[in-house]
Amino acid sequence: MTDSAAALPADWVAAHGESGLLAIVPMPVIIGENVFSDDDAELETHISLALAAGTPVRTSRPSPGQFDKAYRAAAEAGFDAVVSIHISKKLSGTLDAAQLAAGRAGIPVRVLDSGTVGMAQGVAVQAAVVAATQGSGAEAVAAVAGAAALRTSVYFYVPSLEQLRRGGRISLASSWVGTVLDIKPLLGIRDGAVVPLEKVRSAAKAIARLETLAAAEIARREPGRAQLSLHHFGNEHQAGILNESLRTRFPGLAAADMTRLPAVLAAHAGLGVLVVVVSDAIVPPQRELGS
């Protein structure tokens, strides 16, 4: 179980959702006075127009009732336990809602704070699904997911800090707000929170620096074992150029996922955000000979 902040690729979700091993609880997005679910097919258009027009865009955690329903569905499907992996508690109240529902679920529920967001959270979910497919128990699945999340790095560029400021997500970068019109910020996720990394004076230089940070992170990992994920919102072409450049520099890089940033995250990051997630490639564990 996870939430829509995991930003998992749609084809991967479709493949594993059919097996019943994976379920995603959608997170609400509030545009003006209207509430949308993050699985609404028209939400990308609605939020893009709202952000461009300056219409207030907010988010909320899923309700405990949504998790009640999801955990009950898992029990009715015959599962013995649930591992519920969620966006960092420092970024959302989603974990609290999951924990409230877990206490009254009909089967054991292990709720895990991924300590991150986007495909860094998604990689933890993918690792958990692989472990579950291999027959691991709930505690082992949770341990694998937690380890995978810890081995991720998230870097991102936003054209403006305004949306993050409105949503209260940049407390550690508050000193930058006064120069918000003069800088192009690079940010990251550290200890479950958004942290400022660098201030750059142009969009082109910021994106080039984003590539440099990602390349350094890839180079630190075992050759052939790094996995690249990119998110974008309103700037798919830019993301494609960055993807191609990194894959040219690292021919052995695991196949990159390039996905639209979920609306629940784009609501805070704003139009033009570029996110790079570097993780270990998700490879099914090798069985010993004769097993």
- 147-203 pLDDT, tens per residue? 999 999 999 998 877 666 665 555 545 545 444 556 788 999 999 998 889 888 888
Rounded average pLDDT over 26-31: 90
- What is the predicted pLDDT for the residue at 291? 34
> What pLDDT sits at residue 270?
83
Cα 90 versus chain centre, distance? 14
pTM, two decimals, is: 0.89
pLDDT of 74 strictly over 50: yes
Query: Does position 55 have pLDDT exceeding 90, yes or no?
Result: no
Instruction: Give the pLDDT confidence of 96-154 residue by residue, as tens digits.
Output: 999 999 999 989 999 999 999 999 999 999 999 999 999 999 999 999 999 999 999 99
- pLDDT at 19 exceeding the cut of 90: no
